[in-house]
């Protein structure tokens, strides 16, 4: 089944070849199912490998896992909202978060959701550190961490 995705001006945005054994449902509905399935897969990818590291969690109770999942979901919603925003401030923030993430981006796609998620995680971690340590302490830690090894 071939499905065309078009904008309001009928410009072709995507063409999907969907392999399915479903024949009694209109192609548009099957395409909608695929769309939502892909969104769910993208959400799982964010939870697993973009700063949240779901597979590394070691909570032992359902309550602890639920709380952590809720925080992860809020982080995903926050990043998705930022990604959709087009204001000048949002664009500057997105550029900053990608830079903080340390990820190399393609010129055609300078911002990705995983890079934003990683950058947000690192930014919030940095803010927490800055609230608990002075700049002098951080510089001292950097000197200790980067001094040559004594053999």
Task: For residue range 98-119, list pLDDT tens digits in order.
Answer: 999 998 888 888 999 889 998 9
Residues 79 and 133 in one domain: yes
Residues 63 and 115 in one domain: yes
* CA distances from residue 15 to 12, 19, 31, 49, 72 in whole angstroms, order as listed: 8, 13, 11, 29, 32
- What is the per-residue pLDDT for 78? 93
Residues 31 and 60 in one domain: no
| Distance, CA of 96 to chain centre | 14
Residues 39 and 63 in one domain: no
Domain total in the chain:
2
Query: What digits encode the pLDDT tens for the residues 119-135?
Result: 998 999 999 999 999 99
Residues 42 and 85 in one domain: no
Query: What digits encode the pLDDT tens for the residues 21-55?
Result: 888 988 888 888 888 888 898 888 888 876 677 77
Residue 118 CB partners (closer than 8 Å, separation 6+): 50, 51, 101, 102, 103
Residues 43 and 80 in one domain: no
């Amino acid at each position: 089944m071939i499905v065309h995705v078009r904008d309001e001006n009928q410009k072709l945005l995507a063409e999907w070849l969907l392999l399915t054994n479903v024949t009694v449902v209109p192609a548009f509905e099957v395409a909608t199912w695929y769309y939502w399935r892909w969104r769910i897969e993208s959400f799982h990818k964010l939870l697993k490998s973009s700063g949240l590291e779901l597979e590394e969690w070691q909570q032992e109770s359902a309550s602890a896992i639920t709380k952590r999942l809720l925080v992860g979901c809020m982080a995903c919603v926050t990043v998705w909202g930022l990604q959709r925003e087009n204001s000048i401030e949002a664009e500057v923030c997105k550029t900053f978060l990608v830079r903080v993430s340390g990820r190399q981006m393609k010129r055609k796609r300078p911002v990705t959701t995983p890079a934003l998620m990683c950058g947000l995680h690192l930014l919030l971690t940095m803010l927490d550190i800055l609230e608990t340590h002075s700049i002098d302490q951080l510089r001292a830690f950097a000197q200790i961490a980067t001094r040559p090894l004594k053999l």
